[in-house]
Amino acid sequence: MSTKQRVEDPENISDGRRRKGEQRRRLLLDATMEVIARDGVTAVSQRRVAAEAGVPPSTVTYYYATVDDLLVDTLTRVNDAYVRVVDALPEDPDEALRGFAALIAEGAGSDRAHALAEMELFLIAARRPALREQVDRWTAAVDAFLTPYLPDPDARAGVAAASDGYFLRCCTSNPPPDADEVHRALRRLIDRERAAL
């Protein structure tokens, strides 16, 4: 399967064969996230994913010729969820910033193990160029979100870097920062940057 293809919602596919194929891809991506959440991204192999999904290894290689192909689709699916949340944030600037802070603190509806797995997928892009397109996509989504607050690209880059740092802290700190703390920090940074312009 090309890494450019997207896993579709099987419920919206009328063709039975395509629906079954998308269900199988979804099963494999779920299994990949379980392997990453439990053992880390470096533990992902076609054989491990097959065992997690309860399918023969040939099923994984049929849909994903390489581990990178599997990781790209897994990260794309993760990114889709995050970008959907950002796109659906309220128009009110303060409510939108609170929603963005909640996304950072709580993830896109996932538990902490899955949030850490998602972060690992983003971090491994430094070593796996095939994943970088999704990192760039997320960076562009955050930049677009922050543009109404800060028209200056350098100011936005600083706040975006802080939000990335909070994503990491929310995965690694015990206890993790909550949404109110993240919101206060981002609000202060935005206000400071605006005052400096």
Q: What is the reported pLDDT for 25? A: 94
Q: What is the pLDDT of residues 43-59, one digit of tens each?
A: 999 999 999 999 999 99
**Per-residue b or e along 7-40, where b marks 16 or more CB atoms closer than 10 Å to that residue's CB:** beebeeeeeeeebebbebbebbbebbbbbbbeee
| pTM higher than 0.95 | no
Give the pLDDT band (50/70/90) at residue 21.
confident
Q: What is the reported pLDDT for 8? A: 56
CB 116 within 8 A of CB 107: no
Element at 104 (helix H, strand E)? helix 93-106
- Does the pLDDT value for residue 3 go beyond 60? no
Give the pLDDT band (50/70/90) at residue 5.
very low
Q: What is the pLDDT of residues 46-99, one digit of tens each?
A: 999 999 999 999 999 999 999 999 999 999 999 999 999 999 999 999 999 999
- Does the pLDDT value for residue 13 go beyond 70? no
Q: What is the pLDDT of residues 108-124, one digit of tens each?
A: 666 778 888 889 998 99
What type of residue is 175? P
With residues binned 3-state (H G I as helix, E B as strand, rest as coil), the percentages for the chain, rounded to 5, are 75, 0, 25
92's tokens: 């009110």
As a whole-number percent, the residues of the chain with pLDDT over 90 amount to: 74
